[in-house]
Amino acid sequence: MWIAGAPTDSFYEVRAECTDVPKTRFKIKAGRTLSARRWQAAFTPEGYLDIAKTLSRIQRGGIHPSIRGEVWEFLLGCYDPKSTFDERDQIRQRRRYLTGSEDSLFDGTVCTAKYHAIWCDTYIFNHDPTISVNMDHSALTFDDTPWVQYAMWKEECRQMDSIVGSGRIITAPLITEDGEPIEDPSVILEANPDKGMTAPQENGDAENLKLFTGNMLHINALDGESLNSSSGSETVRESMSHVLLDKKVIQWKLTLHQIGLDVVRTDRTLVFYEKQEHLSKLWDILAVYAWIDKDVGYCQGMSDLCSPMIILLEDEADAFWCFERLMRRLRGNFRCTESSVGVEAQLSNLASITQLLDPKLHQHLETLGGGDYLFAFRMLMVLFRREFSFGDSLFLWEMMWALEYDPDLFYMYEEPDSANGKSEGSKGKAKSIRQCGKFERENMKNGAKNAEAPLPISLFLVASVLKTKSSKLLQEARGLDDVVKILNDITGNIDAKKACSGAMKLHKKYLKKAKKM
């Protein structure tokens, strides 16, 4: 039972041996924190959400841990607040229906291996959205909606590498940069622990070979083809050759062990991640995302952004789509070229903000060689996950999203033409300023939406931190090492709500000054 004024550390239990973890400052406050009762009361009998009241409550006192996951789905744009319970249930069922193991997908008296074969061949490889499968007397249509798409993507990844969805993760590379399999016994054992340390032989165990190289093979169970037959082995080897010639598949498979290395280090102080099933779920989601977002793939830091979704949302598809929505906001930071890193644009914006609001500090940082603001790299990449305790970072995130909230989010992601044009017959209506977060309101008032994309609140949060440390930086920093040390001292010592209030004040001041220029 959660009571007013209670800290939330016990909700995100820390391992007993981890004694140096910052304590969570966020506390549940009656009348301020969005409670389960207030959340339920915010819906009409049909299911329409009063988003304005919800945002106001979140901005005052955050979200009760017991409902945090479902509220985040709205804040991140997974659902439209103007949708009904039935409409959201339909979306939820469609996106969950196919999530799970291959066996659970194609189990039952009607949906036999024949339908499995049709689906693998027709949808995964030909991307034909017209195939329907009759399961338990109900029509299951593989349409091209994003909600069903996660299961399709996951199965596609599983076909390329059978470790996806197996409940395991890998932390050692399976192939070389040329696409050749690595025959190190320890690598083989990690990829296929049930088979021992036997390397796949040219004329030997085809099942082991399939697990080792990734399964791009379609198995036609109706024809009774055995993987242990010579024809089966040849098909597997041909499939392996095909995979190794595909540069996109090679690139994806090369990231899998890096994802694994990061997953086992992510939030390792939490009891939650002592369970292998939670680690593997995090690994699966990141592996699938790395495959579908080929421009970005996987980068270090994404596991820190995805981890809270795994903890807050039990269903894997729900967690994936919350992470995907978050990445819509942040993927530009992770996009890299041979000459630049995406986050450099945000660091440049941060420099401009500081130069305008605190020119003396900006000049001092430039003198020290920190004019590129790389010392703020981590804060922007993982949204202050290192500067706050786990619980406080969640509190900070939801306050940021509530302040930035745009009621058109769902339509911007699902129906971009509708969001931009508000065509006749579209469910989207002209948004009310009351339905927007305070940060978004300021942008609308100042016409920021009509020009370039508005600067995110995260930049003003960093600027707020710099402002609080401005005097110390000016007096004590004699080099970049001093700057980093002073900023590292803020870990566990920042109040999330005060930081957001400071960011809002700086944002308002910045807009006024920028308007005069």
Could you report the per-residue pLDDT of 88-100, keeping only the tens digit for each?
Answer: 988 887 776 544 4
pLDDT higher at 9 or 300: 300
pLDDT at 501: 96
Q: Give the domain 343-516 fold.
A: Cyclin A; domain 1 (1.10.472)
pLDDT at 236: 38
Concatenate the DSSP letters of all residues of 449-490 into one string: GGSSPPPPHHHHHHHHHHHHTHHHHHHH--SHHHHHHHHHTT
Give the Å distances, CA to CA, from 79 to 204, 402, 415: 51, 15, 12
Q: The domain 102-327: what is its CATH number?
A: 1.10.8.270
- Residue 376: pLDDT over 50: yes
Please give the average per-residue pLDDT across 239-246, as a whole number: 51
> In a 10 Å sphere around its CB, with 0-12 CB exposed, 13-18 middle and 19+ buried, how is residue 97 labelled?
middle
Among 79-83, 183-187, 198-202, the minimum mean pLDDT is found in: 198-202
pLDDT higher at 11 or 502: 502
Instruction: Write out 420-455 in H/E/C secondary structure.
Output: HHCCCCCCCCCCCHHHCCHHHHHHHHCCHHHCCCCC
Tokens of 415: 């129906």
Concatenate the DSSP letters of all residues of 60-113 into one string: HH-B-GGGHHHHHHHHTTSS-TTS-HHHHHHHHHHHHTT-S-HHHHT-SSSS-H
- Euclidean distance between CA atoms 278 and 143, whole angstroms: 29
Tokens of 413: 């992601």
- Euclidean distance between CA atoms 344 and 438, whole angstroms: 27
Helix (H, G, I), strand (E, B) or coil at 138: strand
- Euclidean distance between CA atoms 472 and 484, whole angstroms: 12
pLDDT higher at 480 or 103: 480
* pLDDT bracket for residue 11 (50, 70, 90): confident
- Euclidean distance between CA atoms 160 and 151, whole angstroms: 14
Among 95-109, 314-328, 495-509, the minimum mean pLDDT is found in: 95-109
Q: What percent of the chain shows pLDDT beyond 70? A: 72
Strand 132-135 and strand 138-141: pairing? antiparallel
- Euclidean distance between CA atoms 112 and 124, whole angstroms: 17
pLDDT higher at 212 or 75: 75
What is the number of H-type helices and E-type strands within the chain? 25, 2
Q: Which residues have a Cβ under 8 Å from the Cβ of 509 and sit 6 or more positions away?
A: 357
Q: How many CA atoms lie within 13 A of 369 on its CB side?
A: 6
| Residues facing 135 on adjacent strands | 138
pLDDT at 148: 62
Nearest residue to 94 via CA among 132, 147, 154: 147
Nearest residue to 469 via CA among 374, 365, 332, 352: 365
What is the C-alpha end-to-end distance of the chain, expressed in Å?
54
pLDDT at 193: 60
Q: What is the tens place of the pLDDT at every residue in 179-196?
A: 888 876 566 556 666 554
pLDDT higher at 490 or 238: 490
Please give the average per-residue pLDDT across 503-510, as a whole number: 96
- Residue 204: pLDDT over 70: no
- Residue 304: pLDDT over 60: yes
Residue 21: phi and psi, rounded to 5, are: -80, 135
* pLDDT bracket for residue 413 (50, 70, 90): confident
- Residue 134, H or E segment: strand 132-135
* pLDDT bracket for residue 10 (50, 70, 90): confident
Q: What is the tens place of the pLDDT at every residue in 437-493?
A: 999 999 988 875 445 678 999 999 999 999 999 999 999 999 999 999 999 999 888
Please give the mean pLDDT across all residues of the chain.
79
E strands in 207-334? none
Please give the average per-residue pLDDT across 341-361, as a whole number: 94
Q: What percent of the chain shows pLDDT beyond 90? A: 58
Q: Where are the domains of the chain?
A: 25-93, 102-327, 343-516
- Euclidean distance between CA atoms 509 and 503, whole angstroms: 10
pLDDT at 21: 87
In degrees to the nearest 10, what's the CA dihedral of 452, 458, 459, 464?
Answer: 140
- Residue 255: pLDDT over 70: yes
The per-residue b/e assignment along 355-366, b for 16 or more CB within 10 angstroms, e otherwise, is ebbbeebbebbe
pLDDT at 422: 42
> In a 10 Å sphere around its CB, with 0-12 CB exposed, 13-18 middle and 19+ buried, how is residue 297 labelled?
buried
pTM, two decimals, is 0.80
- Residue 36: pLDDT over 90: yes
* pLDDT bracket for residue 149 (50, 70, 90): confident
- Euclidean distance between CA atoms 264 and 276, whole angstroms: 10
- Residue 224: pLDDT over 70: no
pLDDT at 96: 64
- Residue 325: pLDDT over 80: yes
Give the Å distances, CA to CA, from 249 to 84, 167, 180, 299: 40, 21, 12, 17
- Residue 218: pLDDT over 90: no
Q: Which residue has tokens 């058109």?
A: 408
* pLDDT bracket for residue 119 (50, 70, 90): very low
Q: What's the alpha-carbon Rg for the chain, to the nearest Å?
A: 25
